[in-house]
Amino acid sequence: MALVDVSRIPQHVAIIMDGNGRWAQARSKPRTAGHERGADAVRATMRAARRLGIPALTLYAFSEQNWDRPEAEINALVDLLCECLVSERNELLDNEIRLSAIGRLHKLPQHAQSRLLSLSEETESCKGMTLTLALSYGGREELIDAARALASAARDGEIKPEDIDEAAIDRCLPSMDLGPVDLLIRTGGEKRISNFLLWGSAYAELYFTNQLWPDFDANSLYSAVLDYQGRERRFGLVPEVEEEETAREARRELERAV
């Protein structure tokens, strides 16, 4: 396996952890068994990301739309979250991982909110990596909340509509606290964004794998990072060689002119 280039590590990796249900179904187990194995994959991925020196890892754990799933599955997911917030405490502290969360967190049951808050506070000074859990999260919902905040500020005379620029919107989006997404991974074979980080993924490199989330491990993350390192990110500009060629051509023109 090729070596990961440590000088070109993506600064923000986001993962749509999909395929838990299918993993369980393939083994004639209830969907919840897939979610439980998915939690093991979270631990493996978190460790691997930390080892690679990725500063920010954002995981899509529960979408705003997932609230419409059967109640039993939702309860199992919330219980699993609460268990993990206890069982992974030392893992986070030992590895200097700060916990953060984005989404309409007020919709989570009170006990889940308190555990989330207390572990976030406990890990507040951890500097190794920030692990952000997207819970009750939707990219559109986050943009709606930002639009409401900006509209209220404009109504109250705190900002002028013409002052609203990219930076102003960035400031209103909690998902932008750690900067835009460099690498967006989706497991489970589907090739869609499913309302994840819509604004922050504007120039993300997309990586889709058929692997189901419970099977994802450190090597899967390395493969994704290696693939990312083989990409040329242009951000709407021309490729570097062409740019040099254009500059050389302009210089030649200038020399001919004098």
DSSP 112: H
CA distances 75 to 59, 63, 107, 246, Å, are 19, 14, 13, 59
Question: Of 39-47, 174-182, 186-194, 238-246, which part binds ligand IPE (CB under 6 A)?
Answer: 186-194
Judged by CB under 5 A, does residue 18 bind Mg ion? yes
Could you say whether residue 63 binds ligand IPE (CB under 6 A)? yes
54 or 61: CB nearest ligand IPE: 61
For ligand IPE, which residue of 121, 163, 190, 240 counts as binding (CB under 6 A)? 190
Q: Which is nearer to Mg ion, 18 or 88 (CB)?
A: 18
Query: Is 192 a residue that touches ligand IPE (CB under 6 A)?
Result: yes
Distance from C-alpha of 193 to C-alpha of 201, rounded to nearest angstrom: 9
**Smallest distance, ligand IPE to C-beta of residue 16, A:** 5
Q: For residue 68, give the 3-state DSSP assignment.
A: helix
Enter the DSSP assignment of 178.
Answer: T
* Residue of 5, 20, 66, 195 marked active site: 66
Shortest distance (Å) from residue 60 CB to ligand IPE: 4
Residues of span 15-44 touching ligand IPE by CB under 6 A:
16-22
> Cβ neighbours of residue 153 under 8 Å, at least 6 residues apart?
159
Question: What CA–CA distances, in Å, run from 85 to 7, 56, 95, 143?
Answer: 32, 19, 15, 28
- Interaction between residue 66 and ligand IPE (CB under 6 A): yes
The gap from C-alpha 7 to its chain's centroid, in whole angstroms, comes to 21
Annotation marks residue 66 as catalytic: yes
20 or 45: CB nearest ligand IPE: 20
From the list Mg ion, ligand IPE, none, partner contacted by residue 63 (C-beta under 5 to 8 A by kind): ligand IPE
Cα separation, 220 vs 19, in Å, equals: 15
Phi-psi region of 211 (alpha: psi -120 to 50; beta: other; left: phi over 0): beta
Amino acid identity of residue 42, one-letter, is V
Q: Which is nearer to Mg ion, 19 or 200 (CB)?
A: 19
139 interacts with ligand IPE by CB under 6 A: no
Q: Given the rule CB under 6 A, which residues bind ligand IPE?
A: 16-22, 60-63, 66, 77, 188, 190, 192, 194
What is the set of active-site residues?
18, 66
